[in-house]
Amino acid sequence: MLSILASCSHNEKKYKIGVSQCSEDIWRNKQNSELMIGAYFHDNVDLCFVAAYDSDERQIQQIDSLIDQGIDLLIVAPNQVSTISSAIDRAYDKGIPVIVFERKTSSKKYTAYMGADNYEMGRLMGEYIASRLNGRGKIMEVMGLKGSSPAIERHDGFVSAIAQHPGIEVVSTLQGDWTEPTAYSIVKQWLDANDGADVDLVFGMNDRSAMGARKAFSEKGKALPLFCGIDGLPGEDGGIRLVRDSLLEASYIYPTHGDQLLQLAVDILEGKPYKKETKLMSALVTHDNARVLMLESDEVIRQSQNIERLHEKASGYMRELSDQRTISWLAMVVIALLLTSLLAIYMYFLQRARLHDERRQMEREQLDFYTQVSHELRTPLTLIEGPLEQLAATPEIQNASDETNGIFAIVRRNTRHLTKLISKLLDAQVGATSATDGDEIDALTVNRPVDTVPSIDDLDENASTVLIVDDNADIRAYLTSILKGKYKVLEACDGQHGEIVAQEQVPDIIVSDVMMPNTNGLEFCQRVKTNIITCHIPVILLTARALNKHQIEGYESGADAYITKPFSSDLLLARIANLLQSRHQLKDLWSTKPAAEVAKEPSSAATDYVADPFIERFKTIVESQMGNSELSVEDLSREMGLSRVQMYRKVKAITGSTPVDLLRKARLQAAHQLLTSTDMTVSEIAYKVGFASPSYFTKCYKDEYGKVPGESRKK
């Protein structure tokens, strides 16, 4: 991750430039910082500085080490002309571009040279000195390091200028090494050895040498000669200040130009055109210009410091930026990881939920399968067990031989055993479910007969009517055989048929299977219970679906009883009888008691029906048509939107009376009301409540109340 980040922020190739300085002093320091400032403008440059402290061996070593470090370019100021050449050649031969600067090498193996013209500098200084001494005087020359090119060239230039002035005599040329302590010690030595000798001017080949000489002269306590140097550096310790403060008579600005040097290096590295030899221009520093130069150079220093500060700030911002970038990347990585984890967790739960659903689905399918198999097995078992029980009760079997009875007992016992086994097997709901193939299921799924609706006219008047709804014709036949002695039996082959028969014939009770095509038993039961005509009919669900959950479903659909297959015929008969007996009937719809009194009776069955919309409507119609002696049950049925049969059976079921009886009761009750509360004649009252003849009214009234109408008159 970090390597990706690193490669993101540093994708440009970095050039490594080795800078080999021959010594370490303020001139070199100035140049090094200029090189660094130059590098600020090039993000792709890394500088590596080394200083040899005026030692050839050390400089050779350092250059070799830079080569080993894999520098891309070498900038070198050779300590001496020939001693460092071998190391420079090695770099050059390795294909490393070499810029020789400020000091020269004897080798031709370099890529470019940059520096001031030291010969010219020495010559101009010679000219200046000659003119300053007005062409007459004694001069001491303190040389730079022996064998270094500026020392040689400055000397040659100086000598060539002085030679033009015969009045100028060089009394001594001392061998220095560019450093102040060496200059001091050799001048001191010379002064000690040449006590009394006159010197008008000392030319130090650099300012530090001139100042070393000055120190030695000062210590002698004699009148000081003039001192001239070279370098003319800015700043407190620099030559410009020394000239301004008259410690030096003159200096020569020896240009550092580090930024220009760096640009040359970058141009070479980037394959841009460059000058092989660059000569840097320079200028003399004297009392005349030292003040101005000092001001200017101070300003330059100040600006350089500003640049430095700006760079530091910029570097700080860059660091912050890079930190922020790293943080952003890390944050993004963390967010990505987080999102991935969340997604993974989500997928995991999704998968779990899916597996759970699949398992539930499988369980449901398994249950359905067992339920179906159970149904299919229990049905034929019912048809074996039930008839066997019926047979057992017949005199033929009861009086049969012991052998026949024995065989019969074996059959009965094993049938019961088989029933138990199947119940256990199926109710346990264990084992694999998928083994049974479609053929077996088909083999079990039999009997889809279509029934016709029998007519009510065939039925016996007083017996209750049972509607059997089952798609299995054998079951229907068996049930019919159980019920037919006691009840009128209607049949339907599924819920859809059952609904039609129930509405048309309004049976007293319904026995229905649950698993049936088209409309199943639960739906059928629900429809029966929500229909105004059939809602009062008790429903027994008769099914192989033996689980509690199935029974609950059955009761939720509105069933009054739930009997599981295989069932005992006695149990079924008992349940039917019980349901028929316990149904609530509104006997007192128009009893002789006033309605208010009936309503007051707390647990009276009447209260159950008070709010029944069917009854309410029936009563309203009857009361409004009271005076109409022509009013027939057909009229009433039409008004109610029912057939005559529907009307008859619904009214009979919930009141125990026929519609005709109810109508008559309503009329008699109204008459009774009028007799006890008005002065109307009996005939008037008879017609008013819809009797066609007063004599018939009197007969009916007597039947109902046990007295003739006149006896009920108000006293």
* Sign, Cα dihedral of 17, 20, 24, 29: negative
User: How many residues can be counted in the chain?
Assistant: 715
Q: How far is the CB of 167 from ligand FRU (least distance, A)?
A: 28
Please, which residue, 144 or 212, has the CB nearer to ligand FRU?
A: 144
In angstroms, rounded to a whole number, what is the distance separating the alpha carbons of residues 333 and 442? 60
DSSP string, 681-708: -HHHHHHHTT-S-HHHHHHHHHHHHSS-
Beta-bridge mates of residue 114: 101, 278
Please, which residue, 184 or 701, has the CB nearer to ligand FRU?
A: 184
Residue 348 main-chain phi, psi, to 5 deg: -60, -50
- Using DSSP bridges, classify how beta strands 284-285 and 251-252 pair: parallel, antiparallel or unpaired: antiparallel
Residue of 25, 72, 127, 508 interacting with ligand FRU (CB under 6 A):
25
Please, which residue, 260 or 366, has the CB nearer to ligand FRU?
A: 260
DSSP string, 193-220: HTTT---SEEEESSHHHHHHHHHHHHHH
Contact 249, 230 (CB under 8 A): no
Please, which residue, 104 or 649, has the CB nearer to ligand FRU?
A: 104
Contact 102, 118 (CB under 8 A): no
The answer to whether residue 691 forms part of the interface with ligand FRU (CB under 6 A) is no
Helix axes 2-9, 287-392, angle to 10 degrees: 140
Please, which residue, 293 or 662, has the CB nearer to ligand FRU?
A: 293
Please, which residue, 155 or 208, has the CB nearer to ligand FRU?
A: 208
Order across the sheet with 15-21: list the strands.
45-51, 15-21, 73-76, 98-101, 112-116, 277-280
Q: E-assigned strands of 477-590?
A: 488-492, 509-512, 539-543, 561-564
Please, which residue, 279 or 699, has the CB nearer to ligand FRU?
A: 279
Collapsing DSSP states into helix, strand and coil, what is residue 72? coil
The H or E element spanning position 101 is strand 98-101
The H or E element spanning position 663 is helix 659-677
Which of these ranges, 21-29, 157-165, 324-332, 498-506, lies near ligand FRU under the rule CB under 6 A?
21-29
Please, which residue, 122 or 386, has the CB nearer to ligand FRU?
A: 122
User: What does the angle CA 508 – CA 509 – CA 512 come to, to the nearest 5 degrees?
Assistant: 150
Report residue 344 CA to chain centroid gap. 9
In angstroms, rounded to a whole number, what is the distance separating the alpha carbons of residues 350 and 66? 63
Please, which residue, 102 or 499, has the CB nearer to ligand FRU?
A: 102
The answer to whether residue 27 forms part of the interface with ligand FRU (CB under 6 A) is yes
Q: What are the tokens at 370?
A: 């067992």
The answer to whether residue 257 forms part of the interface with ligand FRU (CB under 6 A) is no
Q: How far is the CB of 144 from ligand FRU (least distance, A)?
A: 6
The answer to whether residue 203 forms part of the interface with ligand FRU (CB under 6 A) is no
Contact 96, 111 (CB under 8 A): no
Contact 501, 536 (CB under 8 A): no
The H or E element spanning position 596 is helix 595-600
Q: How far is the CB of 31 from ligand FRU (least distance, A)?
A: 9
Please, which residue, 2 or 281, has the CB nearer to ligand FRU?
A: 281
Please, which residue, 25 or 470, has the CB nearer to ligand FRU?
A: 25
The answer to whether residue 28 forms part of the interface with ligand FRU (CB under 6 A) is yes
The answer to whether residue 72 forms part of the interface with ligand FRU (CB under 6 A) is no
Please, which residue, 206 or 464, has the CB nearer to ligand FRU?
A: 206
Q: What are the tokens at 250?
A: 């003159």
Which of these ranges, 22-30, 122-130, 520-528, 642-650, lies near ligand FRU under the rule CB under 6 A?
22-30
Please, which residue, 81 or 633, has the CB nearer to ligand FRU?
A: 81
Helix axes 613-624, 659-677, angle to 10 degrees: 60
The answer to whether residue 101 forms part of the interface with ligand FRU (CB under 6 A) is no
Q: What distance, in Å, lies between the first and last C-alpha atoms of the chain?
A: 115
The answer to whether residue 177 forms part of the interface with ligand FRU (CB under 6 A) is no
Q: How far is the CB of 253 from ligand FRU (least distance, A)?
A: 10
Q: How far is the CB of 150 from ligand FRU (least distance, A)?
A: 4
The answer to whether residue 102 forms part of the interface with ligand FRU (CB under 6 A) is yes
Which of these ranges, 23-31, 240-248, 463-471, 492-500, lies near ligand FRU under the rule CB under 6 A?
23-31
Q: How far is the CB of 324 from ligand FRU (least distance, A)?
A: 43
In angstroms, rounded to a whole number, what is the distance separating the alpha carbons of residues 160 and 432? 120
The answer to whether residue 178 forms part of the interface with ligand FRU (CB under 6 A) is yes
> By rule CB under 6 A, what string of x and - marks binding of each residue 447-476 to ligand FRU?
------------------------------
Please, which residue, 101 or 217, has the CB nearer to ligand FRU?
A: 101
Q: How far is the CB of 259 from ligand FRU (least distance, A)?
A: 18
Spell out the residues 6+ positions from residue 685 whose beta carbon is closer than 8 angstroms to its own: 671, 674, 675, 678, 697, 709
Residue of 231, 259, 470, 494 interacting with ligand FRU (CB under 6 A):
231
The answer to whether residue 534 forms part of the interface with ligand FRU (CB under 6 A) is no
344, with CB counted inside 10 A (0-12, 13-18, 19+), is exposed
* Sign, Cα dihedral of 81, 87, 89, 95: negative
Contact 273, 240 (CB under 8 A): no
The answer to whether residue 103 forms part of the interface with ligand FRU (CB under 6 A) is yes
Residue of 230, 475, 501, 541 interacting with ligand FRU (CB under 6 A):
230
Number of residues that bind ligand FRU (CB under 6 A): 15
Contact 445, 451 (CB under 8 A): no
The shares of helix, strand and coil residues in the chain, as percent rounded to the nearest 5, are: 55, 10, 30
Collapsing DSSP states into helix, strand and coil, what is residue 466? strand
The H or E element spanning position 345 is helix 287-392
Please, which residue, 252 or 562, has the CB nearer to ligand FRU?
A: 252
> By rule CB under 6 A, what string of x and - marks binding of each residue 120-159 to ligand FRU?
------------------------x---x-x---------
> By rule CB under 6 A, what string of x and - marks binding of each residue 590-619 to ligand FRU?
------------------------------
The answer to whether residue 206 forms part of the interface with ligand FRU (CB under 6 A) is yes
Which of these ranges, 19-27, 303-311, 576-584, 652-660, lies near ligand FRU under the rule CB under 6 A?
19-27
Q: How far is the CB of 54 from ligand FRU (least distance, A)?
A: 8
Residue of 110, 113, 254, 567 interacting with ligand FRU (CB under 6 A):
254
Residues near ligand FRU (CB under 6 A) are: 23, 25, 27-28, 102-103, 144, 148, 150, 178, 206, 208, 230-231, 254
